[in-house]
Chains A and B, each alone.
Chain A
Amino acid sequence: MADLLAPGHRGCAGCPASICVRQVLDAAGPNTICTNATGCLEVMTTPYPETAWKVPWAHSAFENSAAMASGIEAAYKALNRRNGTNKKPNIIAFAGDGGTFDIGLQALSGALERGHRMLFVCYDNEAYMNTGIQRCSSSPIGAWTTTSPEGSCSSGKTQRKKPIAMIAAAHDIPYVATACISYPQDLKAKVKKALSFDGPSFLHVFAPCPTGWRFPSEKTIAMGKLAVETGVFVLYEMTDAEPMKPIVTVKPKEFRPVEEYLQAQGRFAHLFKPKRDEVTLKRIQEDVDRKLKWVGLKP
C-alpha cells in the first residue's frame, strides 16, 4: 500500500514518529481521520502550505488530541442520523508522550471513559522533544534531559516512568496494547485489532528518538529492538475480557543485559563516565525486573 504519510516532511533523520504513523496508517487504511496534539509530529508534517498527510487530519492544541477525536466521532454519529448515512471512518488520535502522559492525560481519560469509538496512539520518545528534550513523566530513571540534567547533585531523572498503558487499561476500555516501531507486524496487528472494537482503544508505541536520546540516526530500529530484548519495554495487549491482565505478544528467548541498552545512548552516558553510578544502575535494573514481574515475564 502507498504510504498515507508522504515523504519529504521535516522530521529528523531516523525519526520514529513518522515511522509510527506510517505503520499505523498502513494498518488503518485511507478511511481514517486523524487528530494530532501539538508536538514534533504536528510541526514536522504540516508547515503551511505543505502537508504530509494523505488522510484528513486536524490539529488544534497540545493537550486535547483525545477531545478532538471525541468531537469528530460525535459529529459522525449526529451527521449519520441527520443525513441517513452510515459512515464510520477510523478515528485515530496521535500524541507524543507529553500530549499523553502529562498535559493530555485529562482529555485522554475523559475520552476513554466516555467510550468514543477511537484509537489513541501515543508515540513515546520519553521526553518533550519538540521543545528540545525536557523531562516528561514518560522519561525513565536516570535519563538526562535538559530539565533533569546530570551533575554533582543529580544523576538524571529520579522518578519512575509512568505506566501509561496500565492507566489506560484501568479505564476498563475494550483494548489496550503496547507496541514498538521495530516490530511492525506486531504493531499493525494491534492497530487492526484496536480498530475492530466499537469503543475506545489505546496504543502505547515505543519510539526511540536519535536526537533526544543521543544515538546515531541509523540506529532507531535497532534501539527499539534492544529495548524489547533487554526487557526495558515489553510488548503486550489487554482486553476488557480480562482487564489489566497483560498478554505478552513478543517474548524474547532470554533478556540481554539492560546495560547494553543504556550504554548505546548518550542520555545515560553519565551513568558510566567518569565512573559507574552503581546506585542508579541498580535502581534501573530493579525497575526493569519489577515491571517484567508485573507482566509475568519474571517470577
Chain B
Amino acid sequence: MSRKIVKGAEAMAIAGKLAKPDVVPAFPITPSTTFPEKMSEYVACGELPNTEFVPVESEHSAMSAAIAASATGARTCTATSSQGLALMHEMLFIAAGMRLPIVLFDANRALSAPLNIWGDQQDSISERDAGWIHFYGENAQEGLDLMLMAFRVAEDKRVLLPTMVGIDGFVLTHTSEPVDVPEQKAVDDFLPQYKAEHCYLDPERPTTVGAFAPPEYYMETRYQLDEAVHSSGPVIDEVFADFEKRFGRKYSKIEYYGDRDAEVVFVAIGSLCGTLKDWIDEHRAKGQKVGLVRIIVYRPFPFKELKAALANAKIVAVVDRSISLGYGGPVFSELAAAFVNDAKRPLFKSFIIGLGGRDIKLNDFENIYNAASADLKAGKVNEKMHWVNINKEML
C-alpha cells in the first residue's frame, strides 16, 4: 500500500488501472475527463500493456463499444458525467438488459438547462431505473475502493450486472486528498481476470446476442433483471467483507453516523455527508443527539438496512442533491415509500440542497435540523419541500 495525494478523478483512474481492464472506450466530459486522460496515458506508457483504449466520438458510442467489448468477454470500464451519462441513457438500459458487467465512473454533475458543470447527483440518480448497481463514495478513497469492488461485484457469476460508482463533481473529483493505493498484487488476488462464460462473441461458438423479445418473453426478462439487481445485495456484502479483510477498510451498504437513539436523523448521499458529519460532531459535543444515514449502495435499494437504521428515528430529514421535477426529492420519495406499510414509522421531510454546485455549508444543516425539529414538535410535517440556501430575491 502506498499513500498518494491525488484528486478524486485521478483516484478513480488509479482504480481503473489497478483493475487492468481489457477495453476502455471513453469520451471526455468535465469533471470526469481525468479518467480518459490518465487511462490513455497508462496505455501509452506501457503501464497497461494489454489494454485497448478506444477514443470514441461520443458517450453514446462509449457505452455502445463497452457493451460490444463486454459481450466479447473483455473486462470493460468507462467514465462520464452529466450530459454524457444522459447521452448514454439508451445504452445504460441495454447494458443491464444484456447482463454485461461494465463498470462506469460517474463524476456526479448537474444536468442542463441551464448548462452547469458543477456537482450534484441529478445525472446518476436519474438513471436509477436502468438496472445498474449504484455505489456512491464520500471521498476519493471511497471512490477508489468502491471502483475496485464494483468490478468484483459486477463480474460475480451470481450478479453479472453493470455497476456505476459516483463521486461528486469538483468537490471530490477536483480536490486533492491523501489516498491509500493498494498494491497491484493484492488487487490481482482480490480481482482475478474476468472470464466470461455467459456471453462472449466467438466464431467457434456462434451465439446471437441482443435478439428482440416479443410480448410473450419480454416481461420475464425484466422480472429476472429486477430479481438480479435485488439479489446482488448479499454478494455486495460479501465483497465488502472480503475487501475489508484484505485492505482493512470497512464498507457497508449504508453508514450510520452519530447517536443510535437520535430522534432527528438525516439521510443523504455523497460528499455532503463529510460536512454533515462535522456538524453532527459539533452538536453531539453540545449534548444534542443527532444521526446520519449515508447511502453508499443506492441500487439495489437497501430496504432492510435503512429500516433497521431508522428504527428509532422520529423524523427523517432526507437531503436530496437532485430533484424529480414535479414531485420532489428522489431519495425522499423512495425512502418514504419503503416505510408506507409499516405501522410504526418515522415522519419524513424533504430537503433539496446543493444543485449545480451550490455550496453546502454547516449552517444549512442547522436550518434543516431546526425545520425538522419544529415539525417533530408540532407532530405534523409541513409538506412543503424545503429548498436549502436558495436566494429568494432572485425568484
A-side residues, CB < 8 A to B, are: 30-33, 35, 42-43, 46-51, 53-61, 63-64, 67-72, 74-79, 81-82, 89, 106-107, 109-111, 113-114
A133 vs B202: C-alpha distance when bound (angstroms)? 35
Contacts of A59 in B (CB 8 A): 209-212
Question: Is the pair B203, A107 in contact by a Cβ cutoff of 8 Å?
Answer: no
Contact B206 A54 (CB under 8 A): yes
Is B217 an interface residue, CB under 8 A from the partner? yes
Interface core residue of A46, A47, A64, A69 (most chain B CB under 10 Å): A64
Interface size class of B (residues with CB under 8 A): 35 or more
Distance between B104 CB and nearest chain A CB, rounded to angstroms: 14
B90 adjacent to A79 (CB under 8 Å): no
| Contact in complex: B214, A61 (CB < 8 Å) | no
Q: Are A51 and B60 in contact (CB under 8 A)?
A: no
Render B59-86 as a binary contact track against A, CB cut-off 8 A, 1 for contact: 0110011111111111010000000000
Is B379 engaged at the interface, CB distance under 8 Å to the other chain? Answer: no
A63 CA to B89 CA, complexed, in Å: 13
Determine if B64 and A107 form an interchain contact, defined as CB atoms under 8 angstroms apart: yes
B56 partner residues in chain A, CB cutoff 8 A? 67, 70, 110, 114
Residues of B within 8 A of A71 (CB): 23, 25, 54, 64-72, 76
Q: Are B212 and A46 in contact, CB atoms less than 8 angstroms apart?
A: yes
Shortest CB–CB separation between residue B193 and chain A, in angstroms? 7
CA distance A42 to B210 in the complex (A): 9
Is there contact, CB below 8 Å, between B206 and A61?
no
B39 within 8 A of A: no
Residues from chain B with Cβ under 8 Å of A74 in the complex: 23, 25, 52, 54, 65, 69, 74
Sample (11) of A-B pairs whose CB atoms are under 8 Å apart: A43-B212, A60-B64, A61-B64, A64-B61, A70-B25, A71-B25, A71-B69, A75-B72, A79-B72, A81-B49, A114-B55
In the complex, the answer to whether A79 meets B22 with C-beta atoms within 8 Å is yes
Beta-carbon contact of A60 and B91 below 8 Å: yes
Indicate whether B32 reaches chain A with its CB closer than 8 angstroms: no
- Say how far B86's CB is from chain A's closest CB, in angstroms: 15
- B-to-A contact residues, CB < 8 Å: 22-23, 25, 49-52, 54-58, 60-61, 64-74, 76, 90-91, 94, 98, 193, 201-203, 205-214, 217
Complex Cα distance, B201 from A110, in Å, reads: 22
Q: B209 contacts A107, CB within 8 Å?
A: no
Question: Which of B57, B98, B203 lies in contact with A56, CB distance below 8 A?
Answer: B203
Given contacts A60-B94, A107-B60, 17 further A-B contacts (CB under 8 A): A33-B201, A51-B208, A56-B202, A56-B205, A56-B206, A58-B68, A59-B211, A60-B67, A70-B65, A70-B68, A72-B68, A72-B201, A74-B23, A75-B23, A75-B68, A79-B74, A82-B50
Which of B52, B64, B205, B210 is A75 in contact with, Cβ under 8 Å? B52
Specify which chain B residues have a CB less than 8 angstroms from the CB of A57 in the assembled complex: 206-210
Residue of B nearest to A74 (CB): B52
| Bound-complex Cα distance A151 to B58 (A) | 40
The reply to whether B22 and A67 contact each other, CB–CB distance below 8 Å, is no
Find chain A residues with CB under 8 A from B208 CB.
Answer: 46, 51, 53, 56-58
A170→B211 CA distance, assembly (Å): 34
- B151: shortest Cβ distance to chain A, in Å? 15
Contact partner of A110 (CB less than 8 A), chosen from B58, B210, B214, is B58
Partner of A81, one of B50, B60, B212: B50
Tell me which residues across on chain B come within 8 A of A61, comparing CB atoms: 64, 90-91, 94
Those 7 A-B pairs whose CB atoms lie nearest each other, nearest first: A71-B68, A110-B57, A71-B65, A75-B72, A67-B64, A64-B64, A67-B61
Q: Which residues of A contact B210 (CB under 8 A)?
A: 46, 57-60
